């Protein structure tokens, strides 16, 4: 008989001390309720939003051309930056919520700690802009960064993709597009709790008990991206759902991070295994007793510090 899993004690104590239980408890929102989840996201983002980027980081806003107009993008650089590698950072939000301002503090923190610049495009959100729009926007940003290294002060040979959650899925899709369209090919892919596979629909009660991103949230996100009539048993584009890609050979080195109480855990682990089987150098981290993107709420516990150190090392290695 399988027993339930428990939260990391330090995480549990931290959210209890800050009285975050009510805010983190999954609301009973029906599948497909994007508007309700957007309202809930505003509360959760407010719990961990940093005001501004803070000291040591400079931001510059750009407009990136896409097939039918332009999208905003923001470059984050260390104030003493003299050039080097550059990461294309794709924020999370299930493809249906989140603006650059919501992630300013988190992106700037990565830049400050690593000394590596990040370019974050404001890709358009589903369901108003379903697949392929978010991925096309992300790939357009990669192309733009690769061709504007002189403006950005970046070495195009050291351009990598990095993303969290839905943004991690986009980053993996961008890596596939770079390979299949003949470049530019990112030098590395850093995927944090990535959304990779629309077939993650059957709940594991041991995870569901602690999930902050629920199975219903996950189904809603994929329906927003692929269409409400999309069925998990029907093949979707591998660029939208990299977990379905038959061939992962020739992709850039990968860094993948998951946690044991995250709905997305198994698809991240499978992706790492399949990348390794395809001959792609891959580093996988699995953090125990923690839900989806836990460190956003409790950045100072031991496992959050450990995870941040690993991400920074991966960024600096490019």
Q: How far apart are CA 126 and CA 131, in angstroms?
A: 8
Does residue 177 contact residue 135 with C-beta atoms inside 8 Å?
Answer: yes
Q: Is 259 a catalytic residue?
A: no
Does residue 196 contact residue 123 with C-beta atoms inside 8 Å?
Answer: no
pLDDT at position 1 is 40
pLDDT at position 48 is 53
Listed in sequence order, the residues at least 6 apart from 243 whose beta carbon sits closer than 8 Å to its beta carbon are 196, 197, 198, 199, 267, 270, 271
Q: Tokens 């004690």 identify what position?
A: 9
pLDDT at position 236 is 78
Which of 91, 210, 271, 292 is the catalytic position? 292
Does residue 184 contact residue 143 with C-beta atoms inside 8 Å?
Answer: yes
Residue 8: exposure state from Cβ atoms within 10 A (0-12, 13-18, ≥19): buried
pLDDT at position 41 is 87
pLDDT at position 229 is 76
- In the chain (318 residues long), the average pLDDT of successive 10-residue segments reads 78 84 69 94 65 88 96 97 95 95 95 98 97 97 96 93 98 98 94 96 88 94 88 75 96 98 97 98 98 93 98 98
Q: Is 262 a catalytic residue?
A: yes
Tokens of 159: 């351009």
Q: How far apart are CA 93 and CA 165, in angstroms?
A: 7
Q: How far apart are CA 100 and CA 316, in angstroms?
A: 23
Helix, strand or coil for residue 144? helix
157 to each of 120, 174, 188, 189, how far by Cα in Å?
18, 16, 10, 14
Strand order across the beta sheet in which 188-192 lies: 57-66, 69-78, 117-121, 84-90, 154-164, 188-192, 253-259, 282-287
Q: Which domains does the chain have, with CATH numbers?
A: 9-316 (3.40.50.1820)
Bridge partners (DSSP) listed for residue 66: 69
49 to each of 31, 53, 84, how far by Cα in Å?
27, 10, 28
pLDDT at position 232 is 55
Q: How far apart are CA 238 and CA 196, in angstroms?
A: 9
Tokens of 149: 């290294």
Which of 85, 114, 165, 304 is the catalytic position? 165
- CA within 13 Å, CB half, 151: 12
Helix, strand or coil for residue 179? helix
Tokens of 2: 């399988």
* Phi and psi, residue 255, nearest 5°: -125, 120
Q: Is 216 a catalytic residue?
A: no
Which of 102, 217, 253, 262 is the catalytic position? 262
């Amino acid at each position: 008989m399988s027993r339930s899993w428990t939260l990391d004690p330090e995480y549990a104590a931290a959210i209890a001390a800050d009285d975050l239980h009510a805010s983190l408890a999954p609301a009973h929102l029906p599948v497909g309720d994007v508007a309700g989840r957007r309202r809930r996201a505003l509360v959760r983002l407010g719990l961990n939003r940093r005001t501004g980027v803070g000291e040591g980081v400079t931001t510059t806003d750009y407009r990136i051309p896409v097939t039918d107009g332009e999208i905003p993008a923001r470059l984050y650089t260390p104030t003493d930056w003299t050039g080097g590698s550059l990461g294309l950072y794709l924020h999370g939000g299930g493809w249906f919520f989140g603006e650059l301002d919501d992630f300013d503090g988190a992106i700037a923190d990565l830049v400050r700690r690593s000394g590596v610049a990040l370019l974050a495009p404001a890709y358009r959100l589903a369901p108003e802009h379903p697949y392929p729009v978010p991925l096309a926007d992300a790939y357009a940003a990669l192309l733009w960064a690769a061709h504007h290294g002189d403006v950005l002060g970046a070495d195009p040979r050291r351009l990598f993709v990095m993303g969290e959650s839905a943004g991690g899925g986009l980053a993996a899709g961008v890596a596939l597009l770079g390979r299949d369209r003949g470049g530019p090919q990112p030098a590395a892919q850093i995927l944090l709790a990535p959304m990779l596979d629309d077939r993650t629909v059957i709940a594991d009660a041991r995870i569901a008990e602690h999930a902050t991103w629920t199975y219903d949230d996950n189904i809603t996100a994929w329906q927003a991206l692929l269409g409400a009539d999309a069925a998990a048993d029907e093949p979707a584009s591998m660029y939208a759902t990299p977990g379905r890609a038959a061939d992962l050979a020739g992709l850039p080195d990968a860094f993948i991070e998951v946690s044991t109480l995250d709905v997305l855990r198994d698809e991240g682990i499978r992706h790492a295994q399949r990348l390794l089987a395809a001959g792609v150098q891959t580093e996988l981290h699995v953090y125990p007793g923690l839900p989806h993107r836990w460190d956003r709420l409790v950045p100072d516990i031991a496992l959050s510090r450990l995870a941040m150190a690993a991400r920074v090392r991966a960024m600096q290695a490019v």
